[in-house]
Chain A
């Protein structure tokens, strides 16, 4: 029932994180992982700058993980989120959930990502290829709508 939550500037190794949830665990029958990347947006984007609220970001991720554990009998949960300047093609976020069966592992992974996007205090700002400072990314209605299926 291990939970790992880390907010860090540096990159992470998804395979190493996944292995940590499954090595020596013959009770694990399923592992789902999600990795989110920085897109280049048709070549217009040179980087994303990720800002977060230190302290609250960790607490909010813990609250989301706690809620997922109330809903599904999963085993290990790992949530990693980077901050700072992230280039197109680089990893931003990682969620891994291990469980006895795939159903709860898939569901908990999606639930955590849906709530992370709308309630974990992170903000993205664009940097453009032409050197100009882009806008703060606007929150999407689609992300709010994604929560409705978990009611």
Chain B
């Protein structure tokens, strides 16, 4: 699946997007965040407070217990501050 990152999540990870190939044991968004944290210190830093990270699957907001099985694009970003 394609992962995209925004704002300080993007800066900490150090890239705007990439293709992720997590193992089959990664079922939910929370699993994916836990797995990403182990992918290097930049990920550990970006996701150190994993619970505050907002997630969208295919451009729709989801909670951390959402399943990632059918996701084409999964986005990680901080709480929004527009307007």
Residues on A facing B (Cβ under 8 Å) = 36, 50-53, 55-56, 59-60, 81, 92-93, 113, 116-125, 136-139
**Residues from chain A with Cβ under 8 Å of B45 in the complex:** none
Interface string of B70-83 (1 = CB under 8 A from A): 00000101111111
**Residues from chain A with Cβ under 8 Å of B81 in the complex:** 117, 122-124, 136-139
Residues on B facing A (Cβ under 8 Å) = 4, 6-8, 56, 59-61, 75, 77-83
Contact B7 A123 (CB under 8 A): yes
Contact B75 A124 (CB under 8 A): no
Q: State the CA gap A120–B60 with chains docked (Å).
A: 10
Given A92-B83, A93-B83, the answer on whether A53 and B78 have CB atoms closer than 8 Å is no
Complex A-B, nearest 7 residue pairs according to Cβ-Cβ distance, in ascending order: A122-B82, A139-B79, A56-B59, A123-B7, A117-B83, A137-B81, A124-B81
